[in-house]
Structure 1
Amino acid sequence: MTETPQHISNPDLTTIFGGVYYIHPSNTASKLMTDVFDGTSYIDWQESILLSLSTKNKLGFIDGSLPKPPATDHTYKAWCRCNDLVKSWLLASVDKTVGRSVRFKKTAADVWTDLAERFGQPSSTLLYSLQKKLLLLEQGSDSISEFYTKIMAIWDEIDNQDPLAICACNNCICATGRKNLKSQQDSRVMMFLMKLNDDYVQARTNILMMNELPSLGSAYRFCVQEERHKEIKQVVSSSHESLAFAADRRKFQDKNNFTKSTY
């Protein structure tokens, strides 16, 4: 009887396309992200890492859903290789100071958990700084779009540090999460309107007089329309002033010409 070759009975799982252990040849030298984590803005870094690992089908190596198999298991070698690869990706995504503190962790999941425990907790100091920044923010000379981008950036940072509470009960009928979200949105719509320049008092009044406050995005679009309307009026007004000035100038020239012709 012909013996089955070892490489056929136990194929290298890291070469099987589509499998969780598959490693593309380019992945061994690639990085998950260009900017490294230096101990600040952990939530942003975490989200970028999760997205990158998801596209590479390697989330299981950090979220605990793919634990280390026994040494006798046929997936053991492939798991170890993938784990080392994911761990190297994580270490390459943090600066040297942070990296030295986790480099001797055995698994990528251990590295991930350690970083989450140290840097994933809300920072009261940062939240205070963001709230103060929000309090001092005004539209000033910014366009509606520029101002909206600035205030949304602050709110995004606040949400990262202090996520909105949601109901965790099964078959929820209290709608706590939806109520909390609506309350947050209404508060932000009013804050957005309050911080606009006085030029938008009419838009502010129209929105506040609605039976139910619109979403933040809808309030933004409403104010942008008002901004464009003001720009059009300004252009038309400038055109009328230019025409009136030209007419007055022509009358003055005609009068001078008439005066000269009488002599």
Structure 2
Amino acid sequence: MVNFRDETSSGSPNPSYGTNPFPTVNEPQVTHQQPGSVKRKYNNDPLVIHPVDHPGLTLTTAVLTRETYFGWCLSIQLALPAKIKIGFIDGTFPRPIDQEDGRQWGIVDSMVRAWIMNTIDIRLQRRFQSTKTSRDLWLEVKSRYEGNNGPRRYYLQKDIVILQQGRNDLEEYYSKVRLLWDEMFSLKPVRRCRCGGTKTDCDGCFLETEMLQDDEENKLLQFLMGLNDHYDYVKDQILMQESWPAVYKAFTMLQNVEKNNYSRSVQQDSSMYVREGNDRRNYLDKSKSKNSICNHCGGKGHLKEKLFQTSRLPGLVETTKRKTE
């Protein structure tokens, strides 16, 4: 006789009719976790440290110097989101109130600060060693290199005006001028309407559109003025259009023309090489035939295979043979 355990004695409710009072092996066991002990996921939790992460990690190859601040800033802002750590420097992920999470936050923040310090030139690291958090370090760097941007704007505008394509290919020249424009925009953004597009028929939004259009046209002129002279006919076609295209569209048009010219030059070079090869082969054949001796008639300057008289004019062959003798 099987004795069933009384569930009421343990304070738990009686099993309902028709259910198995004995837990089976295949039934999932539900465990309730405390809010502070939720398992963290690396893909969306900035407090998780991956096994390959360490303070000596090189976050980006860009190094901060007096001249490379803008490119360095873009590289940091591109690399930290891949590590789910951008919130430590932009202020969107402050220190949590929970004590355990706050301790983990301090550990991760120290690692992010070490990553940023590794990308700063060794001659400049002393100036930022007193910062306490990664956000303090980020704000200190920005205050030093973005505080008084008047001289930097002056030299940027000067570089944009005097920039020429020269020996650079089209894509390299476009990348250089685009980088200068982006840095100038970060220092002096285009004015925006205060309504933010919430109003209809807003004069401020209309002026904003006009200013953006003027800025794009000025960039197009700057880009075209720096091109080499062999693009003049393409520049004329672009400027003769009623509405000027965007800079990237003009770059695409020029790139297509450059590719067509390159393929045409390759075809011309290949045909020239073939012609030279044929001329050289003919010259060698002629020089070889001058020194060759015919096995049929004994004459010089031809071969038996090329002596057509052997099959059609035998009398002429005999005459030729007697002359050679």
Q: TM-score, normalised by structure 2?
A: 0.60
Structure 1 match to 2:138? 112
Q: Confirm or deny that 1:102 pairs with 2:133.
A: no
RMSD over aligned Cα atoms: 3.4
Identity of aligned residues (%): 27
Q: Confirm or deny that 1:222 pairs with 2:253.
A: yes
Find the partner of 1:154 among 180, 183, 189.
Answer: 180
C-alpha deviations, 1:229-255, integer Å up to 9, x for none?
A: 555676788869x98xx99xx9xxxxx
Q: Distance in 1 between matches of 2:122 and 2:172?
A: 36
SS for the counterpart of 2:217 is: helix
- How far residue 28 of structure 1 moved from its aligned partner, in angstroms, is 2.0
Counterpart residue identity of residue 77, structure 1: R
The answer to whether the 8 Å contact 1:61/1:109 transfers is yes
Counterpart residue identity of residue 169, structure 1: C
Find the partner of 1:212 among 243, 248, 252.
Answer: 243
**Greater radius of gyration (CA):** 2
- Bigger Cα displacement from structure 2, 39-48 vs 204-213: 39-48
Structure 1 residues 102 and 198: alpha-carbon distance in aligned structure 2, compared to 1, 3 A threshold: closer
Find the partner of 2:197 among 122, 146, 171.
Answer: 171
- How far residue 215 of structure 1 moved from its aligned partner, in angstroms, is 0.9
- How far residue 204 of structure 1 moved from its aligned partner, in angstroms, is 2.1
- How far residue 214 of structure 1 moved from its aligned partner, in angstroms, is 0.5
- How far residue 22 of structure 1 moved from its aligned partner, in angstroms, is 0.9
Structure 2 match to 1:44? 71
- How far residue 158 of structure 1 moved from its aligned partner, in angstroms, is 2.9
Q: Confirm or deny that 1:194 pairs with 2:220.
A: no
Q: Confirm or deny that 1:132 pairs with 2:158.
A: yes
Gaps of 5+ in 1: 1-7, 251-263
Q: TM-score, normalised by structure 1?
A: 0.72
- Structure with more contact order per residue of length (Cα contacts < 8 Å, sep ≥ 6): 1
Q: Confirm or deny that 1:64 pairs with 2:91.
A: yes
Structure 1 residues 12 and 93: alpha-carbon distance in aligned structure 2, compared to 1, 3 A threshold: farther
The answer to whether the 8 Å contact 2:219/2:247 transfers is yes
Q: Distance in 2 between matches of 1:16 and 1:141?
A: 50
Q: Distance in 2 between matches of 1:40 and 1:12?
A: 46
Gaps of 5+ in 2: 1-32, 283-325
Number of corresponding residues: 237
- How far residue 91 of structure 1 moved from its aligned partner, in angstroms, is 2.0
- How far residue 213 of structure 1 moved from its aligned partner, in angstroms, is 0.3
Counterpart residue identity of residue 121, structure 1: G
Structure 1 match to 2:6? none
**Higher fraction of helix:** 1
Q: Distance in 1 between matches of 2:168 and 2:65?
A: 32
